[in-house]
Amino acid sequence: MKGAMSNPEDAFIHKINEHLFSKSQYRFNSGGDPKHIPDLEYTDLLAFHKKYYHPSNCVLMSYGDLNFASHLEFVEQEVLAKFKKNEESAKQSDIPLEPRLKEPINKEHRFMPDLMSEADT
């Protein structure tokens, strides 16, 4: 994680998301901020996983030349039917709408240069 966060391009994208998605979970770095990862307790990690990582809270995507009806039936029987619906998990994951911006937001952040890139000539 430290490696990814030391990349100026990644850090830039994370800052953009932080400002564009100020109300939803998309403002957070999905891998966690390396500064705070050591503070994570194992029990907190388990509680988070139990709360959010459940089939009641998933989006299934399929691609290809499939028989749609039989494919959905397969997913229902072989995946979803094996779990009890968790209404609390599904409710907790609602993504709030972001407020519509009425004017531009200007922010200034400084990033380390990418020392591995070629210098501009």
Domain boundary assignment for the chain: 2-92
Which residue type occupies 15? K
Cβ-based neighbour number of residue 20 at 10 Å = 13
Q: What is the spatial distance between Cα 121 and Cα 115, in angstroms, rounded to a whole number?
A: 15
Concatenate the DSSP letters of all residues of the chain into one string: -HHHHTSHHHHHHHHHHHHHTSSSGGGS-TT--TTTGGG--HHHHHHHHHHH-SGGG------SS--HHHHHHHHHHHTGGGS---HHHHHHTPPPPPPPPSS-----------TTSPPP-
- CA dihedral of 29, 33, 34, 38, whole degrees rounded to 10: -120
| Token pair listed for 40 | 């994570």
pLDDT the model gives residue 28: 86
Please name the amino acid found at residue 65.
D
Tens digit of pLDDT per residue, the chain (121 long)?
556 677 888 888 889 999 989 888 888 887 778 888 889 899 998 988 888 788 877 788 899 999 999 999 999 999 889 988 777 666 666 778 888 889 998 999 888 776 666 665 5
State how far the Cα of 25 lies from the Cα of 14, in Å rounded to an integer.
12
Q: Specify the pTM.
A: 0.57
